[in-house]
Structure 1
Amino acid sequence: MTPLLTVNNLTYCKKVRPWLGKKEIFRLAPVSFELKAGETMAIMGENGSGKSLLAKLLVGVERPSGGNILLNGEALSHSNKQQRFRAIRMIFQHSKESLNPALTLGSLLEEPLILNTDLDAPSRKKKIELTLTQVGMLPEHQYFYRHMLSEGQRQRVAVARALILNPQIIVADEPFAALDPSVRSQTVNLLMKLQRDLGLGFIFISHNLGIVRHISDRILVLADGNVVESGKTDVIFNWPKSEYTQRLIQAYQALITRDD
């Protein structure tokens, strides 16, 4: 069976010259992996490891220096942004900042439909109401503004924006970092239900190894732009091969012991 997503030797190199400082170079070494429909791959690593950069490469925000990305066996062209924009959608970390306070939720959700589909106004309205219902909100919420929503509702709207174009893959970059534990648990359960119902593939980036262990099928570990380890979640947690991965997991286990 053809994988939903295939990443072949994806590389990135960018030179950065800090203000009045010497030139710095960040490289993402060749990254390769496959993602099946209904599967979740977690990307682990410390700050600066290249996790968020990899997410931007997948959704087309950044252009890779080499390699390619295939969706259902067909190459995704960087120049065909609409194709990628519809197929791979992103959930951002700070849902509040990603929502325009001057627009109703209906307007926020309608914009990508206007730009990327041929749906007429009644069909767009129907799609918005359906998507809001999918994420556990009411159709009437389309008339709300950002300030009228709770923290959990704002995160659900962020999920709705990712779903509105019927994507096949969702990239979630630290989507739970700013949420309190109860809201975080509700959002995790929501995403897992949507994945079961819609057969979505998930790329999940997080520092929270408890959530990573709970929702992911496989893990890719990055350090300084290099893949240091990859494999099934249970194998990575129980038998980590690299010292780097061992250190990450030991820190997580120490945190659990301290909280207990």
Structure 2
Amino acid sequence: MNDLLSVENLTFENCHGKRWQRKGTKFTLGPVNFSIRAGETLAIVGANGSGKSLLAKLLVGLEQPDSGAIYLNERKLEQYDNKHRVLNIRMVFQNSNESLNPGITLSSILEEPLKLNTNLDSQARMRKVEQTLKLVGLLPEHRFFYRHMLSDGQRQRVALARAIILNPQVIVADEPFAALDPSVRSQTVNLLMELQRELGLGFIFISHNLGIVRHISDKILVMKQGKVVESGKTDVIFHWPKDEYTKKLVQAHQALISGQD
């Protein structure tokens, strides 16, 4: 089976006048290498400031790398491939409340990417909106709702619906469960896994929660200060971590689990 998404020697530096850099600061990401196949989940873990979210932005095209390459179905993604990337690599952000426009209905929120990226007429777009709402466990009638009418869990489902409505191949999820309470978090994790099985999606999953990481991921990439310090299959990383930083993360997770028993 061929790789769905692969990254080769990807690097990024914020010392070239990037918009968001603070004066006098320098951060170097990479080199980063990994690959996933359809139906696989790669978890990216590490402390705040390790470069996890920056890597996510590079994957979806919100930032451009200084060197290296990203391949989708063995096709190299160039900067001018933004339309191809938008259709095939979609992102779910951490704070669904901030990413959903409070002044328009869910129908308008979900219809917008269809208007921008497809030739579907209004009736076909509405059918697609209703189908996608059902896929994420909501009702077709939810298309008339506004953001404030939804629970946190429902908002995250809408964010997921917006990500999958263009039938992408890869979902990049940046801390998608951080704002959810444990019971809602569990339901959303199960929903993600069901969608992955049904749609054959590749997932890039960024999280601090090693319990969820262990539950849903096939592979793990461990980052520290912009560098990949360890990578491998999830079971191997948890049972036989090699890097000292990885060992500390796993030990902290095990201590937390022991404390809950």
When normalised by structure 1's length, the TM-score is 0.97
What is residue 27 of structure 2 aligned with on the other side?
26
1:144 alignment partner in structure 2? 145
Where does 1:86-165 land on structure 2 (aligned, <5 Å)?
86-165=87-166
Shift of 1:259: 2.1
Deviations 1:218-253 (A, max 9, x none): 000110111100000000000000000000111111
Kindly, what percent of the aligned residue pairs are identical? 68
Q: Deviations over 1:30-76 (max 9, x none)?
A: 11111100000000101111100000000000000001111000011
Paired residue for 1:176?
177
Residue by residue, what CA displacement relative to the aligned partner does 1:60-99 show, whole Å, maximum 9, x if unpaired? 0000000111100001122221111111000011111111
Looking at structure 2, the residues matched to 98 and 6 of structure 1 have their Cα atoms a distance apart, in angstroms, of 27
Aligned to 1:234: 235
**1:224 alignment counterpart:** 225
Partner of 1:9: 9
Count of aligned positions: 257
Of 35-44 and 78-87, more deviation after overlay is shown by 78-87
User: Structure 2: which amino acid aligns with 1:10?
Assistant: L
RMSD across aligned positions (CA) = 1.2
Alignment match, 1:208: 209
Which residue of 2 is the match for residue 47 of structure 1? Answer: 48
- Secondary structure of the equivalent of 1:80? helix
| CA offset digits 1:120-156 (Å, max 9, x no partner) | 0000000000000000111110010011111111111
Q: Distance in 2 between matches of 1:229 and 1:193?
A: 28
User: C-alpha separation between the residues in 1 aligned to 2:79 and 2:196?
Assistant: 26
* Structure 2: 5+ residue stretches without partners: none
Q: Which amino acid in structure 2 is aligned with residue 7 of structure 1?
A: V
The residue type paired with residue 58 of structure 1 is: L
For structure 1, which segment, 220-229 or 249-258, has the greater mean C-alpha deviation from structure 2 after superposition? 249-258
User: Using the alignment, how far apart are the partners of 2:116 and 2:150 within structure 1?
Assistant: 26
Cα separation, partners in 2 of 1:22 and 1:166, compared to 1, 3 Å:
closer
Please give the alpha-carbon distance, in whole angstroms, between the structure 2 residues aligned to 1:23 and 1:39.
39
Distance 1:7 1:117 in 2: 27
Per the TM alignment, residue 255 of structure 1 is displaced from its structure 2 partner at its CA by 1.3
Report the Cα distance in structure 2 between the residues aligned to 1:63 and 1:55, rounded to whole angstroms: 11
Secondary structure of 1:24 counterpart: coil
Instruction: Tell me how far apart the structure 2 counterparts of residues 116 and 76 of structure 1 sit (CA, whole Å).
Output: 18
**Aligned equivalents of 1:72, 1:114: Cα separation in 2:** 25
User: Following the alignment from structure 2 to structure 1, what is the Cα–Cα distance between the partners of residues 23 and 44?
Assistant: 30
Identify which range, 212-221 or 71-80, moves more after superposition. Answer: 71-80
The one-letter amino acid paired with 1:34 is S
Which amino acid letter does the alignment assign opposite residue 48 of structure 1? G
TM-score norm. by structure 2 comes to: 0.96
Distance 2:81 2:239 in 1: 41
2:38 and 2:79 mapped to 1: Cα distance?
Answer: 22
Cα 1:140–1:242 change in 2 (3 A) is: same
Equivalent-residue separation in structure 2 for 1:54 and 1:151 (angstroms):
26
Residue identity matched to 2:64: R
| Matching residue's letter, 2:6 | T
Task: Report the secondary structure of 2:32's partner residue.
Answer: strand
